[in-house]
Amino acid sequence: MVNYREDRLNRIFAVLSDPTRRAILARLASERGLSVSDLAEPFAIKLPAVMKHLDVLDDAGLIRRSKTGRTVRVTIADGCLKPAVDWLERRERFWSASLDRLVDFAEAKERQAKEQGR
Amino acid sequence: MTTATLVRRIAARPDIVFDALVTAEDIGSWWGPADFPAISAASDPRVGGAFEVRFCTADGREHVCAGEFLEITRPTQLVMSWRWTSGGEDDERDRVSRVEFRLRAIDIGTELTLVHAELSTEVSARSHEWGWGGALDKLTRRFREGDRS
């Protein structure tokens, strides 16, 4: 059985596996409320293709779209990458503590070896 | 695929660091989360050989991580599969990941790089093919501040 958290994590990774979608998200992280045509501009792909990517990002809850008149503005969803960030932080905490102890351990062994003239 | 990468500079020669990574007695002295060092460790350091580390957290739960050595090149590279067989995080149980240690001789001794990559899900297997490796790390790091606010 796949639990909710895992399912969410998998979806985020799937969405981010596409370079165009990563580029769109990265841009939205620094500029808020861009229009769809603003977003499409740097890419050598047609507007409908960009719209498709936006649909995927929207379905995964990573962006929000709002319409003012004829313009659709796109904003990154707050906290949308939290599950992925949590996964990384948990891994880093575990290994960070382990590696700090490994450093102490290996350095003590090195001192011992030197004292024994090796 | 998402990966966690950590680097340490160690004042010890690569041979010593490498042995600390594969010798059961040595593994037991460093492997585990903060404040909860291993209570036992077993290791059969040859390709296909198994390792297993047990430790206990403050709540009395016992956790076991285990895996196999996939690549052993003393003293420069070590690759192992890695998973929780007991305890650990609920959503990570029985998901296999890959842990790689790279050692490089430097003036003070050894530069150790650890790369822990998730492998088990279909998604990460696919993204592994696409080869974008650490891209997610960079991206999530960029978002980290925003996610905390």
- What residue has token string 């011992």? A112
Chain B contact set for A96 (CB, 8 A): 6, 34
Q: What does the pLDDT read at residue A102?
A: 93
> Which has more pLDDT, A21 or A8?
A21
Q: What does the pLDDT read at residue B2?
A: 63
Q: Find the Cα–Cα–Cα–Cα dihedral B37, B33, B94, A82, rounded to 10°.
A: 170
> Which has more pLDDT, A3 or B26?
B26
Q: Say whether residue A66 is in contact with chain B using an 8 A CB cutoff.
A: no
Tell me if A105 and B29 make a contact (CB, 8 A cut-off): yes
Chain A contact set for B13 (CB, 8 A): 110, 113
Q: Give chain B's domains with CATH numbers.
A: 2-144 (3.30.530.20)
Q: pLDDT over 90 for what percent of chain A?
A: 25
Q: Of the ranges A29-43, A90-104, B15-29, B79-93, which is most confident?
A: B15-29
Q: What is the DSSP letter of A17?
A: T
Q: Across chain A, what does the average pLDDT equal?
A: 83
Q: What are the start-end ranges of the E strands in chain A?
A: 34-35, 63-68, 71-76
Q: Of the ranges A79-83, A113-117, B34-38, B120-124, which is most confident?
A: A113-117
Which of these ranges, A20-34, A79-93, B45-59, has the smallest mean pLDDT?
A79-93
Q: What number is the average pLDDT over the span A84-94?
A: 75
Q: How confident is the model at residue A76 (pLDDT cuts 50, 70, 90)?
A: confident
Q: How many helices (H) and strands (E) does chain B have?
A: 4, 7
Closest A-chain CA to B129: A17
Tell me if A5 and B20 make a contact (CB, 8 A cut-off): no
How far is the C-alpha of B30 from the C-alpha of B18, rounded, in Å? Answer: 13
Pairs of residues, one from chain A and one from chain B, whose beta carbons lie less than 8 Å apart: 128
Question: Could you state, in chain order, the average pLDDT of each consecutive group of 10 residues for chain B (149 residues)?
Answer: 79 95 91 78 95 85 89 95 76 74 95 80 43 45 44
pTM of the model: 0.65
> Which has more pLDDT, A17 or B94?
A17
- What residue has token string 């037991």? B28
Q: Where are the alpha helices (DSSP H) in chain B?
A: 14-22, 24-27, 122-130, 135-148
Q: How confident is the model at residue A91 (pLDDT cuts 50, 70, 90)?
A: confident
Closest B-chain CA to A113: B16
* Region at B30 (left for phi over 0; alpha for psi -120 to 50; beta for the rest): alpha
| Angle in degrees, 0-180, between the axes of helices A82-115 and B135-148, rounded to the nearest 10 | 110
